[in-house]
Amino acid sequence: MKLKQRVVLLAILLVIFIFTKVFLIDNLDTSAANREDQRAFHRMMTGLRVELAPKLDHTLQSPWEIAAQWVVPREVYPEETPELGAIMHAMATKKIIKADVGYKGTQLKALLILEGGQKVVFKPKRYSRDYVVEGEPYAGYDRHNAEVAAFHLDRILGFRRAPLVVGRFVNLRTEIKPVATEQLLSTFLTVGNSTCFYGKCYYCRETEPACADGDTMEGSVTLWLPDVWPLQKHRHPWGRTYREGKLARWEYDESYCDAVKKTSPYDSAPRLLDIIDTAVFDYLIGNADRHHYESFQDDEGASMLILLDNAKSFGNPLLDERSILAPLYQCCIIRVSTWNRLNYLKNGVLKSALKSAMAHDPISPVLSDPHLDAVDQRLLSVLATVKQCTDQFGMDTVLVEDRMPISHL
């Protein structure tokens, strides 16, 4: 064999060797990552049921101190949360020492301070469990039970980006009015035999109060994030325009995602992948009202997208608003870990997991069966959307690890 032929043969063998080595290493890495995702899923399922119990035997810290220490830039609570039941029990039972109107916004809420100084946001019950909200997906009042269900879905998906939420019954006459500020107290009234209030917000009206069952009102309480983690508000890149007849760019520009990828903070940090995760999350709960979002301040794009204000959800189980998934089907990328978790949850596992997670909540049953069935059906649509992307662009392009630079996708 001539020298030139030998050199060519050696070069070919070297290329084959390098390719094989890289391929095997990549597959080993992927396999290891998948195995870890599977282990994380089994850990989540094992600890899914949270029994509300008052004791914290292993620590002298208050439940509020523990919850505050959990918060870090990429998660609100950790994967392992043995104290979660005690914290949620405190949220559902601790004495209310002050009540005020809620922070600014469009929907009725109250800001409560519990014994120990912890702030929580109280959202009152406005609808029965089987009530169907007609009209646009963002129509109607906030649904308090949606906040509870959304928190547990956040746990199940492994995102850990939603503040803690639990159901609570409060007596408006004995627990709220004696400690209410004048501003809140001035919005109380009696309708028939029921105590009601309408609060202060953009859409709050005296003619549309939230009313208790007698004096006892069902609601949800959301744990206030620690003040050491101030929030920054962002316009959602796939938000609506708020102008009748005017489309947002994403609604007509097929290359819109390419433009987003070139814009900070979506060009290099995990924020765009958070947007995709959030689109999946919002589609599963039927929330088409996330036109802004919050992250922690001064994060340079590294903070998570925090899943706040999830109450415009679970309004109509028949609603199938595909536009919520626009970030997914326009960008055609999704985290590998999210993709794996979604696949573990198909075939009825998601519905069963949600029911189990919410079984011990004080306002259980949190969701009606039609809403639980709808979540399972929407999961199939998410999986089908990702499959369309992988069929068109390939798995290697669509399934993304956090460390991959968005600008190169």
Among 123, 110, 400, which Cα is nearest to 273's?
A: 400
- Spatial neighbors of 382 by CB under 8 A, at least 6 apart, are 280, 283, 284, 325, 328, 342
- Phi and psi of 51, rounded to 5°? -90, 125
- Residue 187 in tokens: 């919005």
The answer to whether the beta carbons of residues 145 and 220 sit under 8 Å apart is yes
Among 91, 211, 216, 222, which Cα is nearest to 141's?
A: 211
- DSSP, res 196: E
The answer to whether the beta carbons of residues 398 and 333 sit under 8 Å apart is yes
What is the C-alpha separation between 409 and 341, in angstroms, rounded?
A: 22
Cis peptide before 317 (omega within 30 of 0): no
- Phi and psi of 367, rounded to 5°? -125, 150
Name the amino acid, one letter, at 348.
G
- Residue 69 in tokens: 């220490």
Catalytic member of 289, 298, 299, 369? 289
Going by their DSSP bridges, the two strands 210-211 and 110-114 should be labelled as unpaired
What is the C-alpha separation between 249 and 290, in angstroms, rounded?
A: 16
Residues making up the annotated binding site for ATP are 107, 123, 222-225, 294, 309
Tokens 């369309």 correspond to what residue? 388
What is the C-alpha separation between 305 and 369, in angstroms, rounded?
A: 29
Residues making up the annotated binding site for Mn(2+) are 142, 309
Q: Catalytic site residue 57?
A: no
Which residues are catalytically annotated?
Answer: 289
